[in-house]
Structure 1
Amino acid sequence: MMLTLNLFVLLLHLLWPAPEAPLVLRPVAPGFGPALFSIVAVRDERPGQPAVALLLPVAPAASPAAAVARPVELRGGTAAALQQFAAATLPAGPTSRYPVTLRVLALQVRETPGPNPAAANGTIVLHLAFEWRNPEGRSITLTEYRGQARYGRARPDRAVVEAALGQALAGSLRYFNGWLATAAATDLRLATAVQPTFRYDTRQTEPDTLFYDPARPLAWTDFTGPPRPRGQYAAAVFPSFGYRTRPRVRQGVVELDIELQVYVVRTSSWVAQGQRTAFNLNHEQRHFDIVRLVAEQFRRRVGPDSLTVADYQSILGWQYLDSFREMNRLQDQYDHETAGGTNDTAQARWNQRIDAELREFGVQ
Structure 2
Amino acid sequence: MAEQPLVLRPATPSFTSPLFTVKQVRDERPGRPAVAWLLPTPPAAAKAAQPVDLQGGTEAALRQFISRTLPARPTRYGVTLRVRECRIQETAAANGQAAGQLNVHLAFDWVNSEGRTITLTEYRGGARYLRPLADRAVVEPTLRQTLLGGLTYFNTWLTRAAAHDVRLATAVHPTFRFHTAQTEADTVFYDPARPLAWADFTGQPRPKGGRYAASVFPSFAYQGRPRVVNGVVELELILKVFVVRSSSWVGPGQQTAEHLNHEQRHFDIVRLVAERFRRKASPDSLTVEDYNSILQLQYLKSFTEMNRLQEQYDAETHGSPLAQERWNRRIEEELRQYGIKQ
Same fold (TM over 0.5): yes
Deviations 1:220-241 (A, max 9, x none): 2212233453654332212111
Q: Give how far 1:246 is off.
A: 2.5
| One-letter amino acid of the counterpart of residue 343, structure 1 | S
2: distance between equivalents of 1:27 and 1:64?
31
For residue 20 of structure 1, what is the aligned residue in structure 2?
3
Matched, 1:278 2:278: no
| One-letter amino acid of the counterpart of residue 358, structure 1 | L
For residue 229 of structure 2, what is the aligned residue in structure 1?
250
- The match for 1:359 among 332, 336, 341 is 336
1:292-307, aligned counterparts within 5 Å?
A: 292-307=271-286
| One-letter amino acid of the counterpart of residue 60, structure 2 | A
Q: Given that residues 39 and 50 in structure 2 are in contact (C-alpha distance below 8 angstroms), is that contact kept between their aligned partners in structure 1?
A: yes
Question: Helix, strand or coil: the match of 1:214?
Answer: coil
Deviations 1:159-181 (A, max 9, x none): 64333322211111001111122
| One-letter amino acid of the counterpart of residue 336, structure 2 | R
User: When the two structures are superposed, what TM-score results if normalisation uses the length of structure 1?
Assistant: 0.84
| One-letter amino acid of the counterpart of residue 232, structure 2 | V
Q: Give how far 1:201 is off.
A: 1.8
Deviations 1:168-206 (A, max 9, x none): 111110011111222223333333333222212212132
1: distance between equivalents of 2:53 and 2:44?
23
Q: Given that residues 192 and 340 in structure 2 are in contact (C-alpha distance below 8 angstroms), is that contact kept between their aligned partners in structure 1?
A: yes
1:260-279, aligned counterparts within 5 Å?
A: 260-279=239-258
Structure 2 segments unaligned to the other structure (5+ residues): none
Deviations 1:278-297 (A, max 9, x none): 23222211111000000011
2: distance between equivalents of 1:36 and 1:66?
48
Q: Given that residues 111 and 122 in structure 1 are in contact (C-alpha distance below 8 angstroms), is that contact kept between their aligned partners in structure 2?
A: yes
Matched, 1:75 2:60: no
Deviations 1:339-360 (A, max 9, x none): x2x4233222222221222122
- The match for 1:235 among 203, 206, 214 is 214
For residue 71 of structure 2, what is the aligned residue in structure 1?
91
Q: Aligned pair count?
A: 340
1:285-364, aligned counterparts within 5 Å?
A: 285-338=264-317, 340=318, 342-364=319-341
Question: Helix, strand or coil: the match of 2:159?
Answer: helix
2: distance between equivalents of 1:92 and 1:355?
61
Q: Given that residues 286 and 354 in structure 1 are in contact (C-alpha distance below 8 angstroms), is that contact kept between their aligned partners in structure 2?
A: yes
Q: Give how far 1:99 is off.
A: 2.2
For residue 148 of structure 1, what is the aligned residue in structure 2?
126
| One-letter amino acid of the counterpart of residue 338, structure 2 | F
Q: Give how far 1:308 is off.
A: 2.4
For residue 145 of structure 2, what is the aligned residue in structure 1?
167
Q: Give how far 1:327 is off.
A: 0.4
2: distance between equivalents of 1:226 and 1:70?
88
Question: Helix, strand or coil: the match of 1:64?
Answer: coil
Q: Given that residues 235 and 280 in structure 1 are in contact (C-alpha distance below 8 angstroms), is that contact kept between their aligned partners in structure 2?
A: yes
Q: Give how far 1:144 is off.
A: 2.0
Q: Given that residues 295 and 323 in structure 1 are in contact (C-alpha distance below 8 angstroms), is that contact kept between their aligned partners in structure 2?
A: yes
| One-letter amino acid of the counterpart of residue 166, structure 1 | R
Question: Helix, strand or coil: the match of 2:106?
Answer: strand
Q: Give how far 1:214 is off.
A: 0.9
2: distance between equivalents of 1:149 and 1:88?
23
Question: Helix, strand or coil: the match of 1:287?
Answer: helix
| One-letter amino acid of the counterpart of residue 351, structure 1 | N
2: distance between equivalents of 1:38 and 1:133?
13
Deviations 1:240-290 (A, max 9, x none): 111222233333333322221111112222223333332322221111100
User: When the two structures are superposed, what TM-score results if normalisation uses the length of structure 2?
Assistant: 0.88
User: 1:273/1:121 Cα in 2 relative to 1: closer, same or farther (>3 Å)?
Assistant: closer
1: distance between equivalents of 2:257 and 2:209?
17
Deviations 1:89-142 (A, max 9, x none): 123444x3222222212112234567777x755442212222223333333322
Question: Helix, strand or coil: the match of 2:23?
Answer: strand
For residue 224 of structure 1, what is the aligned residue in structure 2?
202
1:191-206, aligned counterparts within 5 Å?
A: 191-206=169-184
Structure 1 segments unaligned to the other structure (5+ residues): 1-16
| One-letter amino acid of the counterpart of residue 353, structure 1 | R
| One-letter amino acid of the counterpart of residue 23, structure 1 | L
| One-letter amino acid of the counterpart of residue 64, structure 2 | Q
